[in-house]
C-alpha cells in the first residue's frame, strides 16, 4: 500500500473519531439544548353571534344565537359580551371588553340570550356575525311593528272591550274574525255581518306579547294585520258601530284571509218555467 493511501485512511479515521465525540457530547443529558419559546395565546372574549343566517324579519329564538370566542384586539364596543373576564387578560384591550360587556349589563339584563328571544331581525346577519343591538328590534322598541308586518299587509287598530274581545282570552299572535251587528237601513231589525276573517292579532294596546304565563289580556285597542286592499272594510266598520272579535282555533294559522259575509239568512228569488220561488240562504 502506498504512503499516500495510508495517509488518506489515517485522516479519515481521525475525522470519524472526532465526529463520534461531537455527536456523543450533543446527546449527553447535561448538554444545553435550544427550544422554541411557546407562542403567547391571544387574549379572547366571548361575543354573542348568530349561529345561522338571519334574514330580515326573522323572529329570533335562543337556538339561533350563542357565544363565540373573539380576539380582544378585534372587539368593538357595539358587540355584546358575556361580561366575564377575558382570558388571558390584556391591559388596554381588556378595557374594550369591559365597555362592550356594559352594553349587555345596561340594556339587556343579566341574560342577553334571553333578552333577544322573540326579537325581530331588522338588518340581515350571516352565521358567525356578532349580534348588534341596532340590527334587531325587540318588543316595545320603535319600528317594531313595521318589521313584524308581512309584505302587502297593514296594521289597523280596532276599539274593543272585554265583552267584544272574547272575555280577554284573545292574545297577540291569535287569529280572529271581525264581526259587526247593526240596524238595517230601514230600521226594521238588526243584521250581523262578518267583516273580515282570520286576521292576526299584532298587539293589544301597546303590548306585542302577553306577560309570562298570562292567559288573558284586557285592553281598549287591538291592532290587527289586514290585507292592504281590505283596510277600508275595517275603517268603514269602525265608523258604522261597535265591532266584535271572535277567536279562531290555533289550527287556522295557515288559513285564508279575506272578506266575510252576512251571518243572517238572505232571501233569494228563483224564476223557473215562469214560476217564482223564494229560498233562504246564508
pLDDT digits (tens, 9 = 90+) for 210-222: 877 888 898 999 9
Ranges of residues in the chain whose predicted pLDDT is under 70: 1-2, 4, 7, 9, 23, 25-40, 84-110, 139-142, 261-269, 278-282
CA distance linking residue 199 with residue 139, whole number of Å = 20
Find, among 158, 177, 169, the residue nearest to 217 by Cα.
169
pLDDT for the residue numbered 114 = 86
What gap in Å lies between CA 107 and CA 159, rounded to an integer?
Answer: 33
- CA–CA gap between residue 196 and residue 144 (Å, rounded): 24
3-state secondary structure of 227: strand
The total number of residues shown for the chain amounts to: 282
Cα 181 to chain center, whole Å? 39
User: What pLDDT was estimated at residue 13?
Assistant: 73
CA atoms within 13 A on the CB side of 228: 5
How far apart CA 137 and CA 118 sit, in angstroms, is 9
pLDDT of residue 254: 79
* Rounded Cα gap, residues 219 and 245, in angstroms: 13
Residue 110 CA to residue 192 CA, distance in Å, equals 51
Give the model's pLDDT for residue 62: 92
**Which whole-number Å values give the CA distances from 103 to 214, 252, 271, in the listed order?**
30, 40, 76
88 preceded by cis ω (within 30°)?
yes
Burial class (CB in 10 A: 0-12, 13-18, 19+), 162: middle
CA atoms of 270 and 255, how far apart (whole Å) = 33
Q: Which domains does the chain have, with CATH numbers?
A: 44-137 (3.90.1210.10), 150-266 (no CATH)
Q: Rounded CA gap, 56 and 72, in Å? A: 29
Q: Per residue in 21-47, is it b (16+ CB within 10 Å) or e — as a string?
A: eeeeeeeeeeeeeeeeeeeeeebbbbb
Q: Which residues make Cβ contacts (< 8 Å) with residue 5, sequence separation at least 6?
A: none
pLDDT for res 220: 93
Residues 217/207, Cβ–Cβ less than 8 Å: yes
Amino acid at each position: 500500500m502506498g504512503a499516500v493511501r495510508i495517509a488518506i485512511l489515517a485522516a479519515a479515521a481521525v475525522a470519524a473519531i472526532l465526529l463520534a465525540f461531537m455527536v456523543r457530547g450533543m446527546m449527553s443529558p447535561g448538554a444545553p439544548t435550544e427550544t422554541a419559546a411557546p407562542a403567547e395565546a391571544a387574549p379572547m372574549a366571548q361575543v354573542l353571534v348568530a349561529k345561522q343566517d338571519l334574514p330580515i324579519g326573522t323572529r329570533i329564538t335562543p337556538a339561533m344565537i350563542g357565544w363565540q370566542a373573539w380576539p380582544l384586539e378585534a372587539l368593538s364596543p357595539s358587540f355584546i359580551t358575556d361580561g366575564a373576564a377575558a382570558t388571558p387578560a390584556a391591559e388596554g384591550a381588556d378595557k374594550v371588553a369591559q365597555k362592550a360587556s356594559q352594553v349587555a349589563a345596561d340594556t339587556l339584563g343579566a341574560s342577553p340570550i334571553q333578552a333577544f328571544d322573540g326579537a325581530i331581525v331588522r338588518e340581515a346577519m350571516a352565521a358567525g356575525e356578532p349580534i348588534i343591538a341596532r340590527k334587531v328590534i325587540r318588543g316595545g322598541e320603535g319600528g317594531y311593528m313595521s318589521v313584524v308586518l308581512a309584505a302587502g299587509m297593514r296594521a289597523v287598530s280596532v276599539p274593543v272591550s272585554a265583552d267584544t274581545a272574547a272575555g280577554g282570552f284573545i292574545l297577540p299572535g291569535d287569529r280572529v274574525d271581525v264581526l259587526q251587528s247593526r240596524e238595517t237601513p230601514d230600521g226594521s231589525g238588526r243584521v250581523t255581518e262578518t267583516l273580515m276573517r282570520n286576521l292576526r292579532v299584532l298587539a293589544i294596546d301597546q303590548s306585542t306579547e302577553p306577560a309570562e304565563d298570562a292567559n288573558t289580556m284586557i285592553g281598549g285597542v287591538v291592532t290587527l294585520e289586514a290585507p292592504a286592499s281590505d283596510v277600508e272594510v275595517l275603517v268603514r266598520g269602525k265608523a258604522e258601530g261597535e265591532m266584535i272579535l271572535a277567536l279562531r282555533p290555533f289550527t287556522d294559522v295557515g288559513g285564508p284571509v279575506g272578506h266575510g259575509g252576512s251571518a243572517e239568512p238572505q232571501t233569494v228569488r228563483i224564476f223557473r218555467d215562469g214560476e217564482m220561488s223564494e229560498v233562504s240562504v246564508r
